[in-house]
């Protein structure tokens, strides 16, 4: 019984990581989403780190305490410069896309190596890498969206 449980647990972990890897490569933001004029622009306190330009993606394993489970949230953003101003298109879903989706242009603040929202999202660079962070959770390393750079 114990051996069967260990095998099933290993299979579940393997399938979880396989799903995360598959989602990490399937971008939801397309270049056509960021063509044309944005609806809103970011407030720039300091010019952004050039690494932030283009599209970035990650999978955020969000822990849901009331259900004692982890929900894989795809998180993506695409930072563009139009007519000397910066605009950010953001994408995130909750409960694997069943519950709520946060999609669209955001008027967040850019301050050099970080972009911050009023709700607790932080996108930032460190050591030449790009990261996503929700409030004080552990930062998640992002990877470029294919064709965005």
CB 110 within 8 A of CB 81: no
42 or 3: whose pLDDT is higher? 42
Over residues 71-81, mean pLDDT? 94
Torsion of CA 9, 134, 27, 126, to 10 degrees: -110
For the chain, the distance separating the N- and C-terminal CA atoms, rounded to the nearest angstrom, is: 51
Domain membership of residue 102 (yes or no) is yes
Average pLDDT on 15-36 reads: 64
Determine the average pLDDT of the residues in 80-90: 96
Residue 79 belongs to a domain:
yes
The confidence score (pLDDT) of residue 109 equals 99
Output the pTM of the full model.
0.78
Per the structure, the count of domains in the chain is 1
pLDDT digits (tens, 9 = 90+) for 7-25: 544 454 444 544 444 444 4
* Residue 83: strand, helix, or coil: coil
What is the span of the domain harbouring residue 63?
2-144
> Is the pLDDT assigned to residue 41 strictly greater than 80?
yes
Query: 12: part of which helix (H) or strand (E)?
Result: helix 2-25
Residue 149: inside a domain: no
- Would you say 60 and 75 are in contact if contact means Cβ atoms under 8 Å apart? yes
């Amino acid at each position: 019984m114990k051996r069967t449980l260990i095998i099933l647990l290993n299979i579940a972990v393997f399938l979880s990581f396989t799903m995360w890897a598959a989602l990490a490569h399937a971008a939801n933001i397309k270049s056509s989403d960021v063509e044309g004029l944005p609806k809103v622009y970011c407030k720039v306190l300091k010019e952004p780190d050039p690494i932030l330009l283009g599209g970035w993606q990650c999978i955020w394993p969000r822990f849901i305490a009331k259900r004692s489970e982890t929900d894989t949230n795809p998180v993506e953003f695409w930072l563009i410069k139009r007519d000397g101003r910066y605009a950010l298109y953001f994408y995130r879903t909750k409960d694997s896309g069943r519950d709520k989706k946060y999609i669209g242009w955001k008027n967040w603040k850019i301050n050099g190596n970080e972009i911050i929202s009023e709700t607790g999202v932080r996108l930032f660079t460190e050591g030449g890498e790009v990261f996503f962070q929700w409030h004080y959770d552990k930062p998640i390393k992002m990877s470029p969206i294919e064709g965005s750079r």
